[in-house]
């Protein structure tokens, strides 16, 4: 059986072969002076390893500390015996934690990037058509505005609760079933559990969400007169409602912008653009709110979510089609000329209708000469 880490010394290879063969007799009994050139019986193994990794060599019950930049430590290996097994131990790189709050709970100030406005204008140009799923099936689109305000506000709350771990298209389909059934606080409380779960089938974790929705309806009927809370604190106190949902609900129902709604798209894109260096959406929200102008807090979520659904995809982003590729650290890593208006690429700034549309799902990618 071949040794996993063969040594280049001829006599060492002979000893390893003898030690790794089942039933081999006293190859171990061969005098060390016959195996090693210019070494007496008690000389240590003289072998230089050209690496910066520390290894531990187990020598027939003994241990020898080996520095792969130097030699075996004198006195650690006796009798001129040869290591029969070598295990490599690598040091793990230490990671630096990133925090955007100090010990008092106050946000730190993060300097805005120099090209923020240029990137914002480029993304706005690509999102001018407003034809992403979030534009047609997002939370703000699910409430029936023809109903009295308490009812359509409640419907917006339910859409937000259903949106967790679920695509916008599936949320919209579920909301249509609920509205046809009668989506009011009183009607949901009168609906049996099994029927409610069946109505919610198709959204992620529909059984849990059915339980949460019933609990929320009981709270709204008891404490808010079948309406919804009008503050972030009141919304996040409801089971199944997080900060992102609360900010979107306040923006849609009360025209308030108390914070930036950060979902997985905003978190991913902000890190790709090096606007932040964070590990969680909560950290991203805190970092962005420290420097993004407050007048952009409401718009940044639908802007980046649609951009993430069409161009800056989680896997296989369409950087070749992106207008802000020259400004994006990830986009600049790709070879080929970036897409600009009139260079023959699919992602030109405007199509025949004067809007940027991106590439459809089944449409082949046409590259410019610089990308071929």
Active site residue 52: no
Q: What is the pLDDT of residues 182-232, one digit of tens each?
A: 999 999 999 999 999 999 998 989 999 999 999 999 999 999 999 999 999
Same domain, 144 and 254: yes
pLDDT of residue 94: 44
Same domain, 265 and 147: yes
Q: Is residue 97 part of a domain?
A: no
322 dihedral zone (left: phi>0; alpha: psi -120 to 50; beta)? beta
* 201's tokens: 């089938």
Domain closes at, from 310, 340, 357? 310
Q: How confident is the model at residue 261 (pLDDT cuts 50, 70, 90)?
A: very high
Q: Is residue 265 part of a domain?
A: yes
Q: Is residue 354 part of a domain?
A: no
The single residue of 128, 244, 279, 361 carrying the catalytic annotation is 244
* DSSP code of residue 8: S
Tell me which H or E stretch contains 300: helix 297-310
Q: Is residue 107 part of a domain?
A: no
pLDDT of residue 4: 52
Task: Match 């003994």 to its residue by tokens.
Answer: 62
Same domain, 65 and 163: no
Q: Is residue 264 part of a domain?
A: yes
Dihedrals φ, ψ of 169, to 5°? -65, -40
Pick 36 or 323 by higher pLDDT.
Answer: 323
Q: Are strands 54-59 and 62-67 parallel, antiparallel or unpaired?
A: antiparallel
pLDDT above 70 coverage of the chain, percent: 60
Same domain, 250 and 182: yes
Q: The pTM is what?
A: 0.63
CA dihedral 341, 347, 353, 354 (to 10 degrees): -40
- 341: pLDDT strictly greater than 50: no
pLDDT of residue 90: 54
Same domain, 222 and 305: yes
CATH number for the domain harbouring residue 248: 1.10.340.30
Question: What average pLDDT score do residues 25-32 get?
Answer: 46
Dihedrals φ, ψ of 318, to 5°? -90, 65
Mean pLDDT of the chain: 74
Write out the residue range of the structural domain in which residue 240 sits: 120-310
Comparing 1-10, 245-254, 281-290, the range with the smallest average pLDDT is 1-10
Q: Is residue 269 part of a domain?
A: yes
Same domain, 301 and 162: yes
Q: How confident is the model at residue 81 (pLDDT cuts 50, 70, 90)?
A: low
Cα–Cα separations (whole angstroms), residue 231 to 146, 202, 206, 238, 298: 24, 30, 26, 11, 16
| Alpha helix (H) residue ranges in 53-167 | 116-126, 133-137, 149-162
Q: Which residues contact 145 (CB under 8 A, 6 or more apart)?
A: 152
Same domain, 154 and 284: yes
Cα–Cα separations (whole angstroms), residue 289 to 107, 217, 218: 9, 32, 34
Q: Which residues contact 75 (CB under 8 A, 6 or more apart)?
A: 44
**Nearest CA-CA partner of 217 in 189, 176, 249, 177:** 189
pLDDT of residue 69: 43
Q: What is the pLDDT of residues 124-171, one digit of tens each?
A: 999 999 999 999 999 999 999 999 999 999 999 999 999 988 999 999
DSSP letters of 159-209?
HHHHTTTS-HHHHHHHHHHHHHH--SHHHHHTS-HHHHHHHHBTBTTHHHH
Q: How confident is the model at residue 357 (pLDDT cuts 50, 70, 90)?
A: very low
pLDDT of residue 89: 53
pLDDT of residue 333: 83
pLDDT of residue 107: 52
- 84: pLDDT strictly greater than 60: no
Distance CA 41, CA 36 (A): 9
pLDDT of residue 186: 96
- 3: pLDDT strictly greater than 70: no
Distance CA 245, CA 88 (A): 49
Give the count of beta carbons closer than 10 Å to the beta carbon of residue 228: 25
Q: Is residue 319 part of a domain?
A: no
Distance CA 16, CA 105 (A): 61
* DSSP code of residue 107: B
Domain closes at, from 67, 88, 109? 88
Q: Is residue 3 part of a domain?
A: no
Q: What is the pLDDT of residues 124-133, one digit of tens each?
A: 999 999 999 9
- 288: pLDDT strictly greater than 90: yes
Distance CA 347, CA 358 (A): 6
Same domain, 129 and 76: no
């Amino acid at each position: 059986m071949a040794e996993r880490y063969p040594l280049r010394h001829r006599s060492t290879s002979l000893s390893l072969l003898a030690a790794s063969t089942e039933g081999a007799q006293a190859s171990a009994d061969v005098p060390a002076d016959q195996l090693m050139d210019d070494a007496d019986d008690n000389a240590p193994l003289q072998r230089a390893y050209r690496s910066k990794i520390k290894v531990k060599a187990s020598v027939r019950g003994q241990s020898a500390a080996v520095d792969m930049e130097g030699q075996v430590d004198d006195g650690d290996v006796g009798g001129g015996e040869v290591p029969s097994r070598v295990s490599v131990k690598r040091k793990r790189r230490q990671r630096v934690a990133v925090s955007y709050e100090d010990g008092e709970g106050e946000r730190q100030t993060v300097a805005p990037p120099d090209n923020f406005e240029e990137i914002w204008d480029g993304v706005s140009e690509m999102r001018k058509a407003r034809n992403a799923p979030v534009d047609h099936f997002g939370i703000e689109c699910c409430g029936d505005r023809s109903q009295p305000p308490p009812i359509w506000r409640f419907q917006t709350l339910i859409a937000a609760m259903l949106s967790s771990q679920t695509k916008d298209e599936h949320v919209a389909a579920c909301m249509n079933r609920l509205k046809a059934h009668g989506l009011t606080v009183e009607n949901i409380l009168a609906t049996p559990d099994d029927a409610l779960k069946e109505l919610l089938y198709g959204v992620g974790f529909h059984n849990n969400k059915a339980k949460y929705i019933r609990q929320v309806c009981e709270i709204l009927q008891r404490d808010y007169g079948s309406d919804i809370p009008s503050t972030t604190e009141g919304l996040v106190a409801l089971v199944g409602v997080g900060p992102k949902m609360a900010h979107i609900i306040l923006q849609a129902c009360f025209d308030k912008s108390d914070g930036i709604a950060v979902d997985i798209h905003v978190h991913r894109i902000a890190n790709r653009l090096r606007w932040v260096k964070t590990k969680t959406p909560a950290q991203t929200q805190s970092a962005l709110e420290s420097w993004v102008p407050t007048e952009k807090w409401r718009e940044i979520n639908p802007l980046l979510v649609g951009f993430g659904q069409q161009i800056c995809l989680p896997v296989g982003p369409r950087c070749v089609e992106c207008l802000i590729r020259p400004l994006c650290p990830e986009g600049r890593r790709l070879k080929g000329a970036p897409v600009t208006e009139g260079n023959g690429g699919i992602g030109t700034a405007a199509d025949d209708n004067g809007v940027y549309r991106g590439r459809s799902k089944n449409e082949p990618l046409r590259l410019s000469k610089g990308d071929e």
